[in-house]
């Protein structure tokens, strides 16, 4: 009789028997149930509760970071996926399907309410908040042991894959200590000396003796330590099992996803999903398990540039890697998946208007990033050439005044724009303001924000997640989930 009554009220409130979180919400909020049943409700559910909360140890951990992802980026990627690609975004689908635990996270650093990627990654990696620009070193010189080194000591394989340089702040924050995030040539050597198992991304200039100032052959250092060095997507497909891997697929960061899709010469460079799949395959059979960081690093760069095509397609590419991870984790059953960002950036979002939907959907006509488009304009262009180029790449019809305004940046008549990753002083902000009238997407800035950000978890250890956490909490949650001291 008890079982029938419970099932009736669970069905009435559309709550699955297996879902502890929904059951708790149901018990708290259902006056109908509390009014009819005289038994203690926790007594009714005691047997089921014990089964659900039985602790499972996470053998593997995959920590996914869409760097610089504001909540608006997640929403717009899902909207684009549904409107244009015909399916929901892979991240938002986890929410729709109720597969994960979810929280908000405070991302501040030791020096500011608005963090940079070095301090943010150090919070995850070292378990302490440090000043912006620093990697796992405290204000008084304390060296906090990075979490991937802790897992190495516990016998697990370790790896990082990213769409920016593998020596960049986010992977480095899980791996090493440094007074400066900009010490990428030194970080390249640190990785080899510590001995991480799989490291993949860009950054040839930090390994190649022809590009390093000190002329050191850091690739040779890795080879002497038994690493297989990969340079192309085909190398990735032919990698030997049970070997350590260094994959460096480009000088600087890897190309933006939409530029890769439309530029055959860039298609020898693997996607984040392909690197992630290879990293998992390389480490998954290790008897002590593995830990892997996956970073969509150019989501952040796109936000800094207010570059909507770059932003949406790289967020979607990150979520393709998320699907690879979830497919593995659901089948494996012993993998904790953490999905989040390190901070917001530029807070993009859709803007109200009578044609907002149609304008937003027009982004599907964009063939390249703004970085590619603006790099292709030169001071010797005339107004008509600018108009033709913008229409060819974005199907936007500029007015003569708009084309003249854009051209003035190249001839020095308009003040050149700065920006964190805008080395060529391209007019990113000016062009995004023109695009806004056509795509209904606005931006509040070109830099990081201090928003509370999305955090989702799946698998053993996800039951430890509280509704609101500090970024440092994830360091200790990972160790507890895997029973590592």
**pLDDT tens digit sequence for 78-98:** 999 999 999 999 999 999 999
User: Which tens digits make up the pLDDT trace of 260-290?
Assistant: 999 999 999 999 999 999 999 999 999 999 9
CA distances for 474 relative to 24, 98, 120, 223, 274, angstroms: 24, 21, 11, 34, 26
Average pLDDT in the 358-386 region? 97
pLDDT at 418: 86
| pLDDT, tens only, 107-134 | 999 999 999 999 999 999 999 999 999 9
Q: What is the pLDDT of residue 419?
A: 85
Cα angle, residue 410 at apex, residues 406 and 412 outer, rounded to 5°: 110
pLDDT at 14 (0 to 100): 38
The token pair at 469 is: 């956490």
Find the helix packing angle between 272-283 and 308-332, rounded to 10°: 20
pLDDT per position as a tens digit, 25-46: 433 343 333 333 333 333 322 3
Flag whether pLDDT at 2 surpasses 70: no
DSSP symbol at 463: G
Of 117, 257, 440, 462, which residue is the catalytic one? 117
Q: What is the pLDDT of residue 209?
A: 98
Q: Binding site for Zn(2+), residues?
A: 67, 300, 304, 342-343, 448
139 carries an active-site annotation: no
pLDDT at 54: 54
Which residues participate in the annotated binding site? 67, 168, 170, 295, 300, 304, 342-343, 448
Phi-psi domain of 10 (left: phi exceeds 0; alpha: psi -120 through 50; beta: other) = alpha
Per DSSP, the three-state class of 103 is: strand
Q: Which of 39-43, 212-216, 326-330 has the lowest mean pLDDT?
A: 39-43
| Region label for 176, one of left (φ > 0), alpha (ψ between -120 and 50) or beta (otherwise) | beta
**Between the CA of residue 150 and those of 40, 72, 127, 155, 478, what are the distances in Å?**
44, 35, 12, 9, 11
How far is 309 from 368, CA to CA, in rounded Å? 7
Task: Give binding residues for Mg(2+) as ranges.
Answer: 67, 168, 170, 295
Predicted pLDDT at 485: 82
Q: Does 153 score more than 80 pLDDT?
A: yes
**Residues 15-32, buried b or exposed e (16+ Cβ, 10 A)?**
beeeebebbeebbeebee
Give the confidence band of 242 by pLDDT, cuts at 50, 70, 90.
confident
Please state the rounded mean pLDDT for residues 395-404: 98
pLDDT in tens, 155-172: 999 999 999 999 999 999
Cα 242-248-252 angle, rounded to 5 deg: 160
């Amino acid at each position: 009789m008890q079982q029938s009554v419970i099932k009736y009220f669970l069905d009435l409130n559309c709550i699955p028997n297996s879902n502890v979180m929904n059951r708790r919400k149901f018990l708290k909020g259902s006056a109908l149930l509390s009014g009819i049943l005289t038994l203690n409700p926790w007594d009714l559910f005691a047997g089921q509760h014990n089964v659900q909360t039985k602790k499972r140890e996470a053998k593997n951990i995959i920590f996914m970071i869409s760097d610089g992802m504001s909540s608006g980026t997640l929403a717009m990627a899902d909207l684009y996926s549904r409107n244009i690609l015909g399916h929901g975004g892979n991240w938002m689908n986890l929410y729709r399907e109720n597969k994960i635990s979810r929280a908000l996270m405070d991302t501040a650093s030791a020096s500011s309410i608005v963090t940079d990627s070095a301090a943010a990654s150090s919070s995850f990696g070292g378990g302490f908040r440090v000043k912006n620009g620093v990697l796992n070193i405290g204000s008084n010189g304390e060296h906090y042991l990075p979490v991937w080194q802790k897992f190495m000591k516990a016998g697990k394989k370790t790896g990082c894959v990213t769409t920016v340089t593998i020596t960049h702040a986010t992977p480095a924050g899980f791996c090493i200590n440094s007074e400066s995030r900009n010490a990428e040539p030194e970080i390249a050597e640190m990785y080899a000396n510590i001995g991480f198992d799989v490291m993949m991304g860009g950054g040839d200039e930090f390994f190649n003796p022809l590009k390093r100032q000190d002329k050191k052959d850091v690739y040779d250092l890795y080879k002497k330590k038994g690493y297989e060095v990969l340079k192309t997507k085909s190398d990735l497909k032919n990698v030997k099992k049970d070997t350590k891997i260094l994959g460096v697929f480009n000088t600087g960061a890897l190309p933006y996803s939409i530029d890769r899709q439309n530029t055959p010469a860039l298609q020898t460079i693997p996607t984040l999903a392909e690197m992630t799949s290879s990293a998992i395959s390389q480490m998954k059979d290790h008897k002590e398990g593995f830990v892997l960081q996956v970073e969509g690093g150019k989501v952040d760069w796109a936000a800094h540039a207010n570059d909507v095509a770059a932003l949406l397609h790289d967020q979607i590419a990150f979520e393709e890697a998320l699907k690879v991870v979830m497919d593995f984790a659901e089948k494996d059953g012993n993998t904790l998946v953490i999905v989040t960002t390190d901070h917001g950036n530029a807070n993009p979002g859709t803007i109200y208007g009578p044609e907002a939907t149609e304008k937003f959907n027009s982004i599907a006509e964009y063939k390249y990033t703004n970085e590619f488009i603006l790099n292709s304009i030169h001071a010797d262009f005339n107004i008509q050439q600018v108009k033709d180029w913008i229409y060819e790449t974005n199907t936007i019809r500029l007015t003569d005044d708009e084309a003249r305004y854009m051209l003035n940046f190249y001839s020095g008549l308009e003040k050149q724009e700065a920006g964190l990753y805008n080395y060529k002083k391209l007019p990113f902000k000016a062009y995004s303001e023109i695009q806004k009238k056509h795509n209904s997407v606005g931006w509040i800035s070109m830099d990081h924000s201090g928003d509370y950000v999305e955090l989702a978890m799946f698998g053993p250890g996800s039951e430890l997640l509280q509704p609101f956490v500090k970024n440092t909490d994830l360091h200790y949650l990972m160790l507890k989930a895997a029973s590592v001291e």
